[in-house]
Amino acid sequence: MLVIVAPGQGAQTPGFLVPWLEDPTFASRFAWLSTVAGLDLAHYGTEADAETIRDTSIAQPLLVATSLVAALELFPHPSDAFAQIGAVAGHSVGELAAAAGARTITAEQAMVLVRERGRAMADAAAATPTGMTAVLGGDREEILAALATHGLTAANDNGPGQVVAAGTRDQLAALAAAPPAKARLVPLSVAGAFHTEHMAPAVEHLGTLGRSVSVHDPRTRLISNRDGQVVHEGKEVLRRIVGQIAHPVRWDLCMETMADLGVTGILEMPPAGTLTGIAKRALKGVETFALKTPDQLHDARDFCAKHGEASEMGTSPTWRMVVSPAKGTFHIAGDAADVDVLPAGAAIGDVASLRDRILVTAAHGGQVVEWLVEDGDLVSPGQPLLRLHPEGAA
């Protein structure tokens, strides 16, 4: 099982794009996305210093454009990717790249959204002096209690031994003065308290824009930052991406879902290293590949071929399929078991796991063609549950 992941803000380093832009095809595609974003991203990826590319309004479009164009280098025929990729995920802003890679939105839509996301988050960050600090090591419960004491948010939960605290500068200073036992604090080079209530104005702005974005259901499993669930309805993917701006990133739960899927290989898009580093600590036995430079592309394709396995979603139109959001036991809703037609949004059942019970709905509705599971079956994330045919379709 192959999972492709896209990094978030903070992964960028000065000059990381220099070797990539030596390829005329990469440079041409990158110039197109730069034009859509209205930024000279080639300059920022080759000549700008660390402080310049730390700017949220620059860093976010730079990262998304890089992931999208590098994906076309890795899979020159994009349709071939879906015969190998079992799931995609992106950390924070990387989720926009993942959504475009899964064909939920276009690359151009992703660039417009990330441009506006970056600007809006930069504006929100400028309103109040805020920041983020990585809390490494220590006891998880003690760390969360310490954050609560100081009014801080666990904005990124990246798995064992890595929680990122976010809040005002004063709150972070108070945490630094009294750190949790056995924990090391590392202030992050970011412009504000991302994924907290401080970003609420950015959510409102992007939500307004999002209402005009046309979407498609993902072509492969898309693992959501919000709770690690597999999301398979285009509008829900976009809603989560917008809300995620002011909501903590639960990368730990994303990795739990990868483990539930039986992941054997994780490939991180450039500028890679952060997410594969986390995976090495949290997902023992899973091979990783950090794609950093174009001279690795041949080996990266071999890695994909080794671990590649098509998603169970196949190539059927995904709007005809209802899939499981998580691993657990599926229970069919009584009202759904014996009907021939389901209205849009109707509940078809729920998936019960050790952690919670998740309602499953038929987002599009339609005529029931075939139940693909039975009541009480164990299901995996993204597993097809029900095949529907749109009402009135020939």
pLDDT of residue 72: 95
pLDDT at 63 over 80: yes
E strands, the chain, in order? 2-6, 85-90, 130-137, 153-157, 162-168, 183-187, 221-223, 230-231, 265-268, 287-290, 321-323, 328-332, 341-342, 346-352, 357-362, 366-371, 378-379, 384-389
pLDDT at 80: 79
Predicted confidence (pLDDT) at residue 393 exceeds the cutoff of 50: no
pTM metric for this prediction = 0.92
Same domain, residue pair 114 and 224: yes
Same domain, 107 and 152: no
Which residue range forms the structural domain that includes residue 67? 2-124+197-307
Do 255 and 240 share a structural domain?
yes
User: Looking at 34, 57, 67, 195, which residue is catalytic?
Assistant: 195
- Same domain as 202, residue 302: yes
- For residue 354, give the CATH number of its domain: 2.40.50.100
pLDDT of residue 319: 64
Of the residues 167, 187, 207, which one is the last residue of a structural domain?
187
Asked if residue 313 is part of any domain, the answer here is: no
Residues 102 and 224 grouped into a single domain: yes
Number of residues that this document lists for the chain: 394
Q: Is residue 228 part of a domain?
A: yes
Model confidence pLDDT, tens digit, residues 292-340: 999 999 999 999 999 998 776 655 555 678 999 999 999 999 889 889 9
Is 195 noted as a catalytic residue in this protein? Answer: yes
Question: Within this chain, do residues 173 and 212 fall inside the same structural domain, yes or no?
Answer: no
The domain tally of the chain equals 3
Same domain, 294 and 202: yes
Residues 272 and 348 in one domain: no
Query: Do 131 and 104 fall within a single domain?
Result: no
Q: Could you tell me if 201 and 114 lie in one domain? A: yes
Cα distance between residue 36 and residue 338, in whole Å? 49
Q: Annotated catalytic residue: which of 34, 57, 67, 92? A: 92
- Same structural domain for residues 116 and 215? yes
Which of 61, 78, 81, 70 has its CA nearest to residue 25?
A: 70
Q: Is residue 13 part of a domain?
A: yes
- 159 & 257 share domain: no
Among the candidates 187, 213, 228, a domain finishes at: 187
Specify the amino acid at residue 363: A
The CATH number covering residue 139 comes to 3.30.70.250
pLDDT tens sequence across 353-373: 888 999 999 988 899 999 999
Q: Which two tokens stand for residue 141?
A: 């419960």
pLDDT, averaged across the chain: 93
Domain-ending residue, one of 141, 161, 187: 187
